[in-house]
């Protein structure tokens, strides 16, 4: 094929000025629906031309289509490209297939459109000279269809003859546009217009130079659910789901720095769901010169509102014929400008490969790092299940020798089933595949397929291999760039995930974080199975889907099937049970809705829906959660129907599973330790307070330290004998479990000794000896111990011993407060103690307040509540019940300082109710 382009000059007519044979007369109007057929309009000014010659072989038709499409798109004639390509395809087919000669195609850019001339070298094939309207015959017949299409689609068309050529030409005029119109499309029936909601909402968001939102209109609030005051000042990346998705070619931070950008991403709404949007970004400056970005966003299915029509190069007319001969073969194949992202480059490659070999489908696979598998990254003309990220082994992939490392041609796949696994069930019969190699290393495989058998030979394989060699380096360079961006994103993702997992020791919260970090970044749905011990079966602990409406159905489905085997082998393995069960359940439901008998192969009892089956119908993988050489669970990730995981995502998921397993095991160990500690601590608390006739009693207890229910402070109230009760409130040196051990010793020893009939001083003396016997494990103890006898006259008699403890305070009915005992030595320090009892009488309406030093030593900076402060608070409690007094004391202690208490606190109040008046 030869091409030439001559900008800015009128074409020189290559035909002789005198014709030995007469030209075909001008055809008159053919019916009312057809435009005029006439000779070239010589008055039109030609501003650019592009010419190419095509050999008389079948593949030339596809090459001619690409030539015309690229030329017209380069001139900015996107409105008429499709009609021009259709007409060119038919006319070149007539030349190279039916006439059997080479075809010359000339494209002329004129003021109001384009003129395309297709000439063959078989002038004897004329059409009859007519003066009546032309009858083109049936549109179903093989011959003459090109002229029928010209009559139907072209603004003007005609046929000219010379002794050596026959030429058919057509002219397409650009649609009229209002002044200032940059792009316009044809008038379409209402059924063909893009679908939108009743009211199209365009969110207008302005982002400052730091990436923070400065403006948020009403449509943005309606689309995403956030009021303006909630999001203004926050980075857009906090709302966008796309930047956290590995594998994207451009991050949103980079997109906001570009002068102009269009594309799709997701915005996480106030309800937690991700709304796919199509965005148009424009970088502007304000009056002070500060840059910002204006973002227009619509729902993704309404993208036609904002999307700019794609166009090719705008200046192909600057390329001369000599320059075109020196064009890089890569540019010849892929077109110019080449896509700057990997997905765009691969998609352009398969489309050009299909057109070059006039195929029905094409595909391109990229090799994994270890060159053991090939992953589908782009395809055209294949079912959706064969499109993205499906994988085949290299040594059993496409190829005559069961290897993708060699070119291969398959004449008829029906004769060799399974020769090309990717083509199974697609209806393709003939396939040609070639490897992509860089420096001798396999990087991918490119293939073209056709529905008819015997379409390809070694000649097509050589042409495709030549094209593959031209693009291999560019594809590998783009792949490495994408891989580098993916790894940077993966590193950021893992750092953030590690921080989140390290921030909690709660098992349930760890499970929730594991699932929430994978959805939707790594998968569409996630399930976490946990294993309590080696003898236990895996248990379904957490299920999450990016669509909250699917969670219940997914959970019901997974609960009815056997969990995956807890295999400790690292890496992801495919688990087909969920998709098979979902498909069977959906089939069962469909047949029941049709009134048909249920097949015996369908599992019963799985209450799912067709939507659930579609949600889990794709690839499902299981990753073991291994911590401390033991499988503690499985992380299950899934995709919807016909979708596969890409290898890089699986590697990232494996890294995440290792971190998540350790975090989950740490949470388990912490939970077990806390459960044991709290169970032991609860055993140190009194089972309950006895009811004492004529005396109100209430207790408030707070242990310092996270997870502690009992510390160094303790209390007790218990019956000694009929009509007598023992009470105690004490404080062991220190806090936490070590202090709680002495607490248990003291509380149980007090009950045992008091019920032996010993007096208060003797009880404390025996307890002191028991503490000293503990040796280094013993701790000194302050203790207020007493015995209580309710009196028949309505009062109460108390005998108390205050061993180094804060003195009890008595509140009288007149509001006076006084100590109710004298201080004596504390326990656990000296072997010989000289302790004595003191009697205290509570009259009706009196209150006895007993506290530990955590109350009196409450501090705020240099200030301390102290005994005087406590007495001041108690003075205002006249007339309150015992419970109200305890509550008011605790409230005053908490409000005294802003920090959380650092010491254990116990408050014991006893009150004798006042006498009832007649």
pLDDT tens, residue by residue, 840-883: 999 999 999 999 988 998 888 888 988 899 999 999 999 899 99
Candidates 149, 35, 134; CA nearest to 94 is: 149
Does residue 872 sit in helix, strand or coil? Answer: helix
The pLDDT-based confidence of 312 (bands split at 50, 70, 90) is very low
**What kind and span of H or E run contains 688?**
none
- Bridge partners (DSSP) of residue 289 are none
Q: For residue 22, what pLDDT is reported?
A: 34
Three-class secondary structure assignment of 215-270: EECHHHHHHHCCCHHHHCCCEHHHCECHHHCCCCCCCHHHHHHCCEEEEEEEEECC
378: which 2 tokens? 């782009």
Summarised one tens digit per residue, pLDDT across range 362-403 is 888 888 777 777 888 888 877 654 455 666 776 654 444 357
Which is more confidently placed, 565 or 706? 565
**801-809 average pLDDT score:** 94
User: How far is the C-alpha of 845 from the C-alpha of 841, rounded, in Å?
Assistant: 12
**607-635 average pLDDT score:** 76
DSSP state at residue 97: I
Instruction: Say if residues 2 and 52 touch (Cβ distance below 8 Å).
Output: yes
678: which 2 tokens? 């709290």
Q: For residue 387, what pLDDT is reported?
A: 52
Q: For residue 268, what pLDDT is reported?
A: 87
User: Is cis: bond before 520, omega within 30 of 0?
Assistant: yes
- How many residues would you count in the chain? 918
Parallel, antiparallel or unpaired: strands 859-860 and 817-819 = unpaired
Q: How far apart are the first and last CA of the chain?
A: 122
Min mean pLDDT across 153-167, 201-215, 286-300, 327-341 is at 327-341
Residue found by looking up tokens 């509140």 in the block: 811
**274-288 average pLDDT score:** 86
Number of other residues whose CB lies within 10 A of the CB of residue 320: 13
**Mean model confidence pLDDT for the chain:** 78
DSSP 784-845: EEEEEEE-TTS-EEEEEEEESSPPPEEE-TTS-EEE-S--BPPBSS-S------EEEEEPTT
Quick one: residue 478, left, alpha or beta (phi over 0 = left, psi -120 to 50 = alpha)?
Answer: alpha
Number of other residues whose CB lies within 10 A of the CB of residue 74: 22
Q: For residue 799, what pLDDT is reported?
A: 94
Considering 128-142, 733-747, 761-775, the range whose residues carry the highest mean pLDDT is: 761-775
Residue found by looking up tokens 């601590």 in the block: 681
311: which 2 tokens? 């166009």
Instruction: Say if residues 52 and 64 touch (Cβ distance below 8 Å).
Output: yes
760: which 2 tokens? 């208060």
Does residue 876 sit in helix, strand or coil? Answer: coil
Number of other residues whose CB lies within 10 A of the CB of residue 756: 11
Which is more confidently placed, 381 or 694? 694
Candidates 7, 154, 163, 165; CA nearest to 85 is: 154
User: How far is the C-alpha of 720 from the C-alpha of 759, rounded, in Å?
Assistant: 11
User: How far is the C-alpha of 671 from the C-alpha of 632, rounded, in Å?
Assistant: 15
User: How far is the C-alpha of 682 from the C-alpha of 275, rounded, in Å?
Assistant: 49
Q: For residue 224, what pLDDT is reported?
A: 93
Q: For residue 697, what pLDDT is reported?
A: 94
pTM exceeds cut of 0.75: no
User: How far is the C-alpha of 316 from the C-alpha of 299, rounded, in Å?
Assistant: 35
User: How far is the C-alpha of 786 from the C-alpha of 534, rounded, in Å?
Assistant: 53
Q: For residue 642, what pLDDT is reported?
A: 65
738: which 2 tokens? 């070590």
Sign of CA dihedral 880, 885, 887, 891: positive
User: Is cis: bond before 78, omega within 30 of 0?
Assistant: no
Three-class secondary structure assignment of 152-203: HHCCEEEEEECCCCEEEEEEEECCCCCCCCCCCCCCCCHHHCCCCCCCCCCE
Q: For residue 123, what pLDDT is reported?
A: 60
What are the two backbone dihedrals, phi and then psi, of residue 888, each rounded to the nearest 5 degrees?
A: -70, -40
Would you call 368 exposed, middle or buried from its count of C-beta atoms within 10 A (0-12, 13-18, 19+)? middle
Summarised one tens digit per residue, pLDDT across range 876-912 is 999 899 999 999 999 999 899 888 777 888 899 999 9
Number of other residues whose CB lies within 10 A of the CB of residue 642: 16
The pLDDT-based confidence of 330 (bands split at 50, 70, 90) is low
| Residues 897, 900, 901, 907, Cα dihedral to 10° | 80
Which is more confidently placed, 98 or 154? 154
Summarised one tens digit per residue, pLDDT across range 493-539 is 777 778 888 878 888 888 888 888 888 888 888 889 888 877 788 88
User: How far is the C-alpha of 668 from the C-alpha of 507, rounded, in Å?
Assistant: 6
Instruction: Say if residues 150 and 170 touch (Cβ distance below 8 Å).
Output: yes
- Bridge partners (DSSP) of residue 539 are 530
700: which 2 tokens? 């408030």
């Amino acid at each position: 094929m030869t091409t030439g382009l001559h900008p800015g000059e009128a074409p020189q007519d290559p035909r002789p000025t005198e014709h030995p044979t007469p030209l075909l007369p001008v055809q008159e109007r053919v019916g009312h629906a057809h435009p005029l057929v006439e000779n070239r309009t010589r008055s039109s000014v030609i501003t650019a031309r592009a010419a190419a010659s095509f050999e008389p072989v079948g593949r030339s038709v596809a090459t001619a289509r690409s030539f015309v499409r690229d030329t017209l798109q380069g001139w900015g004639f996107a409105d008429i490209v499709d009609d021009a390509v259709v007409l060119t395809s038919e006319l070149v087919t007539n030349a190279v297939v039916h006439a059997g000669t080479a075809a010359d195609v000339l494209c002329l850019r004129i003021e109001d459109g384009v003129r395309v001339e297709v000439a063959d070298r078989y002038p004897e094939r004329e059409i009859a000279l007519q003066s009546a309207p032309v009858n083109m015959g049936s549109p179903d017949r093989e011959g003459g269809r090109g002229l029928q299409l010209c009559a139907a689609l072209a603004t003007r068309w005609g046929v000219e003859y010379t002794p050596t050529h026959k030429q058919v030409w057509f002219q397409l005029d650009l649609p009229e546009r209002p002044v200032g119109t940059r792009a316009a499309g044809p008038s379409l029936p209402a059924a063909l217009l893009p679908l939108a909601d009743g009211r199209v909402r365009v969110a207008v968001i302005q982002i400052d130079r730091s990436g923070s939102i400065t403006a948020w209109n009403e449509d943005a609030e309606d689309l995403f659910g956030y009021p303006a005051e909630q999001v203004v000042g926050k980075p857009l990346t906090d709302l966008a789901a796309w930047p956290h998705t590995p594998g994207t070619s451009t991050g949103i931070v980079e997109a906001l720095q570009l002068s102009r950008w269009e594309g799709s991403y997701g915005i996480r709404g106030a309800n937690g769901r991700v709304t796919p949007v199509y965005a148009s970004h424009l970088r502007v400056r304000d009056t002070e010169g500060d840059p910002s970005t204006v973002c227009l966003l619509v729902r993704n299915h309404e993208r036609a509102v904002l999307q700019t029509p794609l166009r090719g190069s705008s200046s192909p007319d600057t390329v001369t014929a000599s320059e075109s001969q020196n064009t890089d073969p890569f540019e010849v194949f892929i077109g110019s400008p080449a896509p700057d992202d990997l997905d765009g480059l691969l998609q352009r490659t398969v489309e050009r490969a299909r057109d070059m070999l006039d195929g029905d489908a094409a595909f391109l696979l990229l090799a994994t790092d270890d060159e053991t598998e090939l992953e589908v990254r782009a395809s055209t003309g294949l079912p959706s299940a064969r499109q993205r990220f499906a994988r085949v082994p290299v040594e059993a992939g496409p190829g005559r020798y069961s290897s993708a490392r060699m070119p291969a041609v398959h004449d008829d796949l029906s004769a060799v089933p399974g020769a090309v696994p990717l083509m199974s069930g697609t209806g393709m019969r003939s396939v040609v595949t070639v490897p992509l190699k860089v420096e001798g290393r396999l990087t991918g495989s490119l293939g073209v397929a056709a529905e008819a058998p015997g379409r390809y030979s070694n000649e097509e394989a050589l042409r495709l291999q030549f094209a593959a060699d031209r693009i291999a380096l560019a594809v590998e360079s783009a792949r490495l760039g994408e891989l580098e961006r993916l790894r940077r994103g993966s590193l950021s993702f893992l750092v953030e995930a590690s921080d989140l997992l390290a921030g909690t020791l709660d098992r349930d919260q760890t499970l929730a974080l594991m699932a929430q970090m994978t959805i939707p970044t790594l998968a569409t749905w996630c399930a976490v199975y946990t294993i309590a011990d080696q003898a236990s079966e895996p248990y379904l602990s957490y299920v999450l889907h990016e669509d909250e409406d699917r969670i219940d159905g997914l959970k019901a489905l997974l609960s009815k099937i056997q969990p995956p085997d807890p295999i400790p082998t690292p890496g992801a393995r495919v688990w087909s049970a969920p998709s098979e069960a979902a498909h069977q359940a959906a089939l069962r439901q469909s047949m029941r809705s049709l009134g048909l008998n249920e097949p015996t192969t369908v599992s019963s009892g799985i209450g799912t829906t067709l939507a659930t089956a579609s949600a889990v119908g794709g690839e499902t993988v299981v990753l073991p959660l291994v911590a401390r050489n033991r499988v503690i669970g499985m992380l299950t990730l899934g995709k919807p129907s016909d979708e596969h995981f890409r290898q890089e995502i699986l590697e990232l998921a494996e890294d995440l599973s290792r971190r998540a397993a350790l975090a989950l095991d740490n949470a388990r160990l912490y939970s077990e330790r806390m459960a044991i500690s709290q169970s032991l601590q609860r055993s140190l608390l009194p089972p309950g307070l006895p009811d004492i006739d004529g005396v109100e009693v209430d207790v408030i207890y707070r242990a310092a330290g996270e997870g502690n229910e009992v510390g160094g402070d303790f209390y007790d109230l218990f019956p000694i004998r009929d009509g007598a009760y023992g009470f105690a409130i004490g404080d062991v040196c220190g806090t936490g479990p070590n202090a709680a051990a002495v607490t248990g010793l003291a509380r149980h020893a007090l009950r045992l000794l008091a019920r032996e009939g010993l007096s208060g001083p003797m009880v404390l003396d025996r307890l002191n000896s028991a503490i000293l016997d503990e040796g280094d494990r013993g701790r000194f103890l302050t203790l207020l111990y007493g015995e209580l006898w309710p009196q028949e006259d309505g009062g109460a008699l108390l005998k108390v011993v205050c061993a180094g403890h804060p003195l009890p305070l008595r509140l009288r009915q007149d509001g006076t407060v006084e100590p109710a005992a004298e201080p004596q030595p504390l326990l656990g320090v000296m072997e010989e103690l000289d302790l004595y009892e003191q009697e205290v009488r509570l009259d009706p309406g009196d209150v006895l307040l007993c506290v530990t030093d955590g109350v009196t030593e409450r501090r705020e900076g240099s200030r301390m509540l102290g005994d005087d402060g406590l007495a001041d608070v108690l003075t205002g409690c006249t007339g309150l019940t015992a419970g109200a007094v305890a509550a008011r004391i605790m409230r005053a202690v908490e409000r005294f300082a802003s920090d959380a208490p650092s010491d254990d606190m116990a408050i014991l109040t006893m009150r004798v109710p006042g006498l009832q008046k007649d």
